[in-house]
Chain A
Amino acid sequence: AQSVSQHNHHVILSEAASLELGCNYSYGGTVNLFWYVQYPGQHLQLLLKYFSGDPLVKGIKGFEAEFIKSKFSFNLRKPSVQWSDTAEYFCAVNRYSGGGADGLTFGKGTHLIIQP
C-alpha cells in the first residue's frame, strides 16, 4: 500500500525565513502529488500539484515544490514566509489507476507557526 511521510510535525519560523517541508511517498508506479494547506477553521485548499513535465512546480502564495523521482520526494518550499502562512500543511499522493484517479493518501501534516 502506498504511504506518505512528512518529516516535520511542527515547524516554527520567524517571518521572512525560508521554508522547506519534507514529503516522501512510497509507491513505485505513476503518481500525482499534491500539497494542501488548511488555515485555522477553514477547509483544505490546494497549494500546488504535480502530474508530469517540469518537476519544479509553482503554486499559489509563492509556494513551490520539487518532485525528485529518484528520492520519492516532493518537498514544499517558500523563500520568505509570512505570518499569514501559519497553517497545517498536508502532502498527498493520488495513485493513477487509469480508470480515474483514486482518492488521496495524505501525510500526517505539518503544523507551521510563523512568529512575527
Chain B
Amino acid sequence: GAVVSQHPSRVICKSGTSVKIECRSLDFQATTMFWYRQFPKQSLMLMATSNEGSKATYEQGVEKDKFLINHASLTLSTLTVTSAHPEDSSFYICSARRSGDQSYNSPLHFGNGTRLTVT
C-alpha cells in the first residue's frame, strides 16, 4: 500500500510554455504533500509544502508565482511550472503523508519523479 504516482514521468516543453505535473496518492488520502526538485548529481531540495484546501507553503528562494501548487483534493496535488525556461529543467519529485498521520514520525511516500526538460 501507500503508492504515490506522478504524471508525466518525462516531459519536454518549449521555453515560455507552462507544464503541469500531477502527484496522486493512489490508495490513501494525503492531507499534506511535498514537492522537491533535484538537479543532476545534487540533493533533493524541498520546494514547497502543499496542504489540501489551503495555500502552499514555499521554501525560501522558491518563486510561488512561477511554481504554482494546487492541492484541491485529498488525493491530488499539482505543480505547474509557468513560463518555463531551460534553467527550470530538473527532476521534480513529490511525496505524500497519509491523512491522520500528522505526527512527526509518520512516513513519507515518494513518487517516481518527473523529468522536465525545457528547450
Contacts and interface: CB of A to CB of B under 8 A. Distances in A.
Contact of A100 (B43, B95, B102): B102
B11 interface: no
A16 interface: no
Nearest to B59: A103
A15 to B, nearest CB: 26
Task: Tell me the dominant secondary structure on chain B's binding face.
Answer: loop
Interface string B50-81: 00000000011000000000000000000000
A74 interface: no
Interface stretch (A38-46, A54-62, A64-72, A77-85): A38-46
Interface of B: 4, 32, 34, 36, 41-46, 49, 59-60, 93, 95, 102-108, 110-113
A43 B108 contact: no
Contact of B112 (A42, A51, A100): A42
Contacts of B32: 100
Among A45, A49, A103, A108, max chain B CB count under 10 A is at A103
Size bracket, chain A contacts:
20 to 34
B46 A103 contact: yes
10 contacts: A36-B110, A43-B4, A43-B93, A44-B110, A49-B107, A101-B106, A103-B34, A104-B46, A105-B46, A106-B45
B104 to A, nearest CB: 4
Contacts of B43: 4, 90, 106-109
A96 interface: yes
